[in-house]
Amino acid sequence: MSGTFSIGDLDMKWQPEIGLAMVLILFPTFPVHAQTVSPTKAHEESFSGYLFQELPKNLLRGTTETFSGWHLAILGAGGGAAIGLSQTDADDEVRSGAGDSIGDFATIGDIAGNGFTLGGIALSTYIVGRVAEDDKMIATGKALIESQILAQTMTVLLKVATDRERPDGSGDRLDSSFPSGHASGTFALASTVDAMYGHEIGIPLYLLAGFVAFSRLSDEKHFLSDVVFGAALGTVVGRRVAGLHKQEEQKRMAILPYADAHGVRLMLTVWW
């Protein structure tokens, strides 16, 4: 379905149309414009096309956007807070206070923030969207897949670079303490869904991410500074990647020129 809004003579006359075919019938002098602005339905794209063509481009764009503008400022603030916590007694004080504070419930956070769990959620969202032919769910699935890849890749690189020992002494250089992969992954999930579907779903997921982060403190797998920066990293990555996919959704709107007996006008066409 589409609509046409005439603004050439300032009479603001609304002229409803039905579909792109009707646009072509009513305005045959601009067939090329009408055809080129029609977006490809997400459920009509092949998975191989997404995997080998769109995904690499989106990962590159997501990386570039994460380290630019206010996103970089947030990461800087998160990094500054992490340094401040690690260089004072705050990390040790929180560790002693939070250690084993929720007991076996920490296992829930361990499972919920596991990379396999988060990756499964992302892939399942994409698959369900394709089966249901729901373009928004497909876009959300793509954003989740990409945000998880970026968040976990950046997390591992930082772990290797910092090689910080965990509070309980476990792990190796690839699985060191800073930053928390559970925190970065779950906050990437929450921020992606929040950006795509709003606070009604996003806020409960942020609360889940907060629980996962706290469970890592209770389990003595991370310091407070680890989860603080992990949360900042995941939030920035998730919102930035989701923003890229929301921009694609906005391309379903186009303004086209056309001529009639009264002169040249502009046509606003929206596909939904």
Quick one: pLDDT at residue 266?
58
Q: In terms of C-beta density within 10 A (0-12 exposed, 13-18 middle, 19 or more buried), how is residue 219 classed?
A: buried
Average pLDDT over residues 217-236: 97
> Residue 131: is its pLDDT beyond 50?
yes
Quick one: pLDDT at residue 4?
44
Q: What is the pLDDT of residues 157-170, one digit of tens each?
A: 999 999 999 999 99
Average pLDDT over residues 134-160: 97
Q: At what angle do helices 55-66 and 135-162 cross, to 10 degrees?
A: 60
Cis link prior to 179 (omega < 30° from 0)? Answer: yes
State which amino acid sits at residue 43. H
> Residue 175: is its pLDDT beyond 50?
yes
Average pLDDT over residues 63-82: 93
pLDDT band at 45 (very low <50, low <70, confident <90, very high): confident
CA 220 to chain centre: 29
State which amino acid sits at residue 75. L
**CA dihedral sign of residues 71, 72, 76, 79:** positive
> Residue 232: is its pLDDT beyond 80?
yes
Local structure of residue 105 (DSSP, 8 states): G
> Residue 114: is its pLDDT beyond 70?
yes
Say how far apart CA 87 and CA 75 lie, in whole Å: 18
Is pLDDT larger for residue 29 or for residue 67? Answer: 67
> Residue 198: is its pLDDT beyond 90?
yes
Q: What is the pLDDT of residues 94-111, one digit of tens each?
A: 999 999 999 999 999 999
pLDDT band at 11 (very low <50, low <70, confident <90, very high): very low
pLDDT band at 75 (very low <50, low <70, confident <90, very high): very high
The answer to whether the predicted template modeling score (pTM) of the entire model surpasses 0.85 is no
Mean of pLDDT over the chain: 83
Quick one: pLDDT at residue 265?
61
Q: What is the pLDDT of residues 117-130, one digit of tens each?
A: 999 999 999 999 99
> Residue 271: is its pLDDT beyond 50?
no
Is pLDDT larger for residue 248 or for residue 36? Answer: 248
E-assigned strand segments in 47-92: none
Q: Residue 73: left if φ>0, alpha if ψ -120 to 50, beta else—which one?
A: alpha
Quick one: pLDDT at residue 257?
63
> Residue 38: is its pLDDT beyond 50?
no
Give the whole-number percent of the chain exceeding pLDDT 70. 75
E-assigned strand segments in the chain: 2-5, 14-17, 253-260, 263-270
Q: Are 99 and 218 in contact (CB under 8 A)?
A: yes
Quick one: pLDDT at residue 246?
87
